[in-house]
């Protein structure tokens, strides 16, 4: 195992768990819990119910005062191992960072001013969103999760066309000064999480915003 003190909450999209997946999880040697649920009636079938179940499990099992951070991992992402210790483990409230090949963009990232405050979002899709960030581009400290108890709820469904991230993150009520950008002032500026698929990538647009990006 490459990452210390990692607990994996895996949620199966079914009425039951899979024996084959359970075997893989067991062989991995990673601490995990394997849950299952299906999409609730009237909710989008894009993992909202599954994330809600994972959130409930994390909050129910969190011990106040314990150092822990929640990050949403997807099966179509590739992670540089440095993401976990360099970014995620250091998040005190909500941390944000660049994501490569998100949607039609080369790079999506928080736009940060000279004092280290997020002032906007360098993205192609719906840049005026309060939190124009991909699900892979942020993590939340568990003390904040435990206090706020956020979810992907019916209110988020109203904002579905622009994604659930903004609705979810607005529930914490944090001012921009409390948001934590990572990697924006590194030299070189590297991307530690990418959307990757085993199909030919569509043409990407937008700028690289100073991050290392090669085609």
- Whether 20 is in a domain gets the answer no
Q: What percent of the chain has pLDDT over 90?
A: 76
Residues paired with residue 31 on neighbouring β-strands, in sequence order: 7
**Confidence at residue 157, expressed as pLDDT on a 0 to 100 scale:** 74
- Whether 205 is in a domain gets the answer no
Domain count, the chain: 1
**Confidence at residue 159, expressed as pLDDT on a 0 to 100 scale:** 64
Is 108 catalytic? The answer is no
- Whether 13 is in a domain gets the answer no
- Whether 88 is in a domain gets the answer yes
Least confident of 8-17, 28-37, 66-75, 197-206: 197-206
Contacts of 55 (CB under 8 A, 6+ apart): 70, 145, 150, 151
d(CA 161, CA 164): 8
- Whether 18 is in a domain gets the answer no
**Confidence at residue 201, expressed as pLDDT on a 0 to 100 scale:** 66
**Confidence at residue 198, expressed as pLDDT on a 0 to 100 scale:** 72
Q: What are 106-128's pLDDT values in tens digits?
A: 999 999 999 999 999 999 988 99
Alpha-carbon 64 to chain mean position: 22
Which range has the top average pLDDT, 106-120, 142-156, 187-201?
106-120
- Whether 201 is in a domain gets the answer no
**Confidence at residue 67, expressed as pLDDT on a 0 to 100 scale:** 96
Catalytic residue among 159, 165, 177, 190: 165
pLDDT mean over 81-86: 97
**Confidence at residue 1, expressed as pLDDT on a 0 to 100 scale:** 58
**Confidence at residue 202, expressed as pLDDT on a 0 to 100 scale:** 66
Q: Please report which confidence band the pLDDT of residue 215 belongs to, taking 50, 70 and 90 as the band edges.
A: low
Query: Which residue range is the domain that position 172 belongs to?
Result: 39-195
- Whether 144 is in a domain gets the answer yes
- Whether 124 is in a domain gets the answer yes
**The pLDDT of residue 149 is above 70:** yes
Please, what's the b/e burial string for 6-29 (b: 16 or more CB within 10 A of its CB; e: otherwise)? eeebbbbeeeeeeeeeeeebeeee
**The pLDDT of residue 30 is above 90:** yes
State yes or no: 85 annotated in a binding site: no
Q: What's the CATH code of the domain at 93?
A: 3.90.550.10
**Confidence at residue 41, expressed as pLDDT on a 0 to 100 scale:** 80
Residue of higher predicted confidence among 137 and 1: 137
d(CA 25, CA 208): 36
In angstroms, the Cα distances linking 18 to 15, 113, 130, 152, 212 are: 10, 47, 38, 25, 39
Query: For the chain, what percentages of helix, strand and coil (3-state, to nearest 5) are there?
Result: 25, 25, 50
Supply the mean pLDDT for the chain. 92
């Amino acid at each position: 195992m490459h990452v210390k003190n990692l607990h994996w909450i895996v949620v199966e999209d079914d009425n039951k768990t899979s024996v084959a997946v359970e075997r893989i999880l067991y062989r991995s040697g990673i601490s995990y819990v394997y849950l299952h649920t299906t999409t609730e009636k009237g909710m989008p079938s894009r993992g909202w119910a599954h994330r809600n179940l994972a959130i409930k499990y994390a909050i129910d099992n969190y011990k106040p005062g314990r150092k822990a951070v929640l990050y949403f991992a997807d099966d179509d992402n590739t992670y540089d191992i440095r993401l976990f210790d360099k970014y995620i483990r250091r998040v005190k409230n909500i941390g944000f960072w660049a994501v490569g090949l998100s949607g039609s963009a080369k790079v999506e990232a928080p736009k940060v001013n000279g004092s280290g405050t997020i002032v906007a979002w360098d993205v192609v899709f719906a840049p005026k969103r309060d939190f124009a960030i991909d699900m892979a581009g942020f993590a939340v400290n568990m003390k904040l999760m435990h206090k706020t108890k956020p979810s992907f709820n019916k209110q988020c469904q109203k904002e579905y066309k622009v994604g659930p991230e903004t609705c979810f993150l607005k529930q914490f009520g944090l001012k921009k000064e409390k948001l934590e950008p990572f990697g924006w002032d590194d030299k070189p500026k590297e991307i530690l999480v990418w959307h990757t698929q085993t199909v030919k990538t569509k043409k990407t647009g937008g700028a690289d915003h100073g991050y290392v990006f090669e085609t």
